[in-house]
Amino acid sequence: MTENRGLVDAIIKFNTQTSGRDKLFRLIQYVAKFVWGTFEARQQYPEVVLRLKSLDGALGKVRKSLRLANSLARLKEALDTIHLSDLVLRLSITITKINQAIYLGIDHLCWANDIGLLKLQKDHWSQLASRFWLITILLNLIRDVYEYYLIWIEFLYQKSKNIPDNNIAKRLSFLKMAACDKPLFLDTVKNCADLLLPLHSLGRVNMPLPGVGLVGVISSAVNLLQAIKPELRLIYT
Amino acid sequence: MDSTSRDSRLIRDVIKYNSNVVARDKLNRIVQYTSRMIIWYVKDAKDMQTLLFRMQKLEAAMATSRKLFRMFNSIEFFVKALDAANEKDGVVRLFSAVGMAGKGIWLFFDHILWFNKIQMMKVDSRWQQMSSWAWLCGVFALLIRDVRKLHMLHVHAIDVSNLEMKQSSESMRHLRRQVEATQLEFVKDFCDLFIPLAALGYANPGIAAAGGMLSSAIGIKQEWSKIVAVSK
């Protein structure tokens, strides 16, 4: 009973957060993309394809306007993470946040351009936004690799501590230790999936649309899960 | 407190404010109605066509994104209508329930209108009319509720002063806060009344836009005190 209450409370809290709504819309957007991409590839249900395409486009536009002022939030977070004790984490996370802030700033300009408030070269600026997005994801992955490196160090230390007792040493496994860190695992899955999206929009990777949709669904689902259950979120993301 | 820490506290508060859905919506609302006001003002000015074009695009973008943003919030209004059964006074109970139900119906139609706008569905112009009527009835009912609440608070205040009871300053402050909150709510609902009136053609769009701006500003103040001031 208390577990149900906890979940209901989490959903209510999630419902009041702007970032939560954004993650939900992202999931719906990529599901729509996956479905219409699949139908279009098979040349089935043209009516459904048209409607889902409109939904996909509309959700993308709305999410852009929802993200307005998020660049400020990222800069503020960067000012906090600049005080972290671990040097590598301090550098990687702070630079990631600054990079995200720049990406979002360019995204705001693209939004203003889309709705006609500004007149910019659409292709150039959206490509620039995709580039910064790509760098953000790469920086996130660097942080994930570093966290796995720390687990590796811990594993070696545990192993060296237990050399006299062969049984414990045998049962220790790096993969088991790594799998125990659920937030890190989820974050790595999310970043690996996310990596393909800007690569596709920059034309570096040739992916069919259903594939793009699927990859987006995976990363959005993980994002959504982490939003509902904050204990699954990697710290400072 | 020096100015840099005051600025950083303000930024932190703005970010906290922005992260709440209802609060963010009020911000988008004031932008939407301000651009509507500008559109009404420069509509016929021949040398302001670029501004007119940009404001129209901004207003359309804000309106559409707000419609999606509050998707399924109609359920919340229906829940509030049911909660109105807990009100002690009969008049407040009735008009609260009617008001919230009206707003819930309006928002439900609004969801359908969004699906129509993004061409996922096709509905005719009657839905827009029905949506405006539902909103009008809802807001009107809430206005009557606000007036009744103010009347009851006024009577309570007279009773308190008549009985010459030693009321603690705390309870007097609480009463004063309630009166101020209800007065603010009344002004907000009164301003909101003009928006559906203009949509149905009974009022000037400029007045509706001004009303929308004022009610959004009040909404921002209310949300700010709920989200930011409470945590202090």
Q: Name the minimum distance, in Å, from the CA of B183 to any CA of chain A.
A: 26
Task: State the Cα–Cα distance between residues A218 and A225, nearest whole angstrom.
Answer: 11
Instruction: Tell me the pLDDT tens digit for each residue of A206-231.
Output: 889 899 999 999 999 999 999 888 88
Q: What is the mean pLDDT of residues B88-103?
A: 92
Backbone angles phi, psi at B158, to 5 degrees: -65, -45
3-state SS, residue A204: coil
| Token pair belonging to A145 | 């690799």
Residue B24 has its nearest CB partner, among A15, A18, A58, at A18
Instruction: Tell me the pLDDT tens digit for each residue of A72-91.
Output: 889 989 988 988 888 998 99
3-state SS, residue B20: strand
Q: Which of B4, B17, B18, B121 to mutate to test the interface with A (most CBs of A within 10 A)?
A: B18
3-state SS, residue B124: coil
Q: How far, in Å, are A180, A232, B60 from residue A149 at the CA level? A: 15, 20, 50
Q: Supply the pLDDT for residue A124.
A: 92
Contact B57 A115 (CB under 8 A): yes
Q: Supply the pLDDT for residue A169.
A: 61
Q: What is the mean pLDDT of residues B179-196?
A: 95
Q: Global pTM?
A: 0.87
Q: Name the minimum distance, in Å, from the CA of B144 to any CA of chain A.
A: 29
Burial label, A216 (beta-carbon count in 10 A; 0-12, 13-18, 19+) = buried
Cβ-count burial B102-133 (b if 16+ within 10 Å, e if not): bbbbbbbbbbebbbbbbebeeeeeeebebbbb
Measured between CB atoms, does B60 come within 8 Å of chain A?
A: yes
HSE-CB of A127 using CA atoms within 13 angstroms: 8
Backbone angles phi, psi at B203, to 5 degrees: -140, 160
Interface of B with A in 28-47 (CB under 8 A): 28
B124 or A133, greater pLDDT: A133
Backbone angles phi, psi at A146, to 5 degrees: -60, -40
pLDDT at A3 over 70: no
Residue A116 has its nearest CB partner, among B14, B57, B119, at B57
Q: Name the minimum distance, in Å, from the CA of B228 to any CA of chain A.
A: 14
Instruction: Tell me the pLDDT tens digit for each residue of A103-122.
Output: 999 999 999 998 888 888 88
Q: Name the minimum distance, in Å, from the CA of A110 to any CA of chain B.
A: 13
pLDDT averaged over every residue in chain A: 88
Residue A76 has its nearest CB partner, among B11, B53, B69, at B11
Q: Where are the alpha helices (DSSP H) in A115-228?
A: 122-161, 166-171, 174-180, 182-201, 209-228
Measured between CB atoms, does B14 come within 8 Å of chain A?
A: yes
Measured between CB atoms, does B24 come within 8 Å of chain A?
A: yes
